[in-house]
Amino acid sequence: ARGIQQTAVRQAHRKHEPSFHDKYGTVVLLGGAAVFTSVWGYVLTQLGIEWGFSPTGRITPKEWRE
C-alpha cells in the first residue's frame, strides 16, 4: 500500500506536459463539426429529394447527363 501511495505522490508532483488532446482537441472537434455540417449541407441541398411525410413516389432520380 505504501508503494502505491508513493507512486501517486510522485505522479502528482511531476510536471504536466500537454498531450495531443490538450493541444489539438478543440481544433479537431471543430474541424470535424465543419466537415460534418458541410457534407450534410451538400447532401440536403443538392440531391433533389422532395421532402414529405411519405417517401413513396416522392424520391425521383434525375436524368442522366452524358
Whether 63 is in a domain gets the answer no
Q: Note whether 38 and 32 are within 8 A (CB).
A: no
The pLDDT of residue 1 is 66
Higher pLDDT among residues 11 and 65, named by residue: 65
Under DSSP, is residue 51 helix (H, G, I), strand (E, B) or coil? coil
Whether 28 is in a domain gets the answer yes
Q: Look at the chain and report how many structural domains it folds into.
A: 1
Cell 432520380 identifies what position?
Answer: 61
The pLDDT of residue 35 is 97
Cα–Cα distance for residue pair 62/59, rounded to 1 Å = 10
Give the CATH number of the domain where residue 16 resides: 4.10.51
Residue 12 CB-density burial (10 A; 0-12 exposed, 13-18 middle, 19+ buried):
exposed
Boundaries of domain holding 19 = 1-47
Whether 14 is in a domain gets the answer yes
Whether 59 is in a domain gets the answer no
Q: How many CB atoms lie within 10 A of CB 49?
A: 13
Q: What pLDDT, in 10s, does the model give residues 9-64? A: 766 666 667 788 888 899 999 999 999 999 999 888 887 766 656 656 666 667 87
> Structure pTM?
0.47
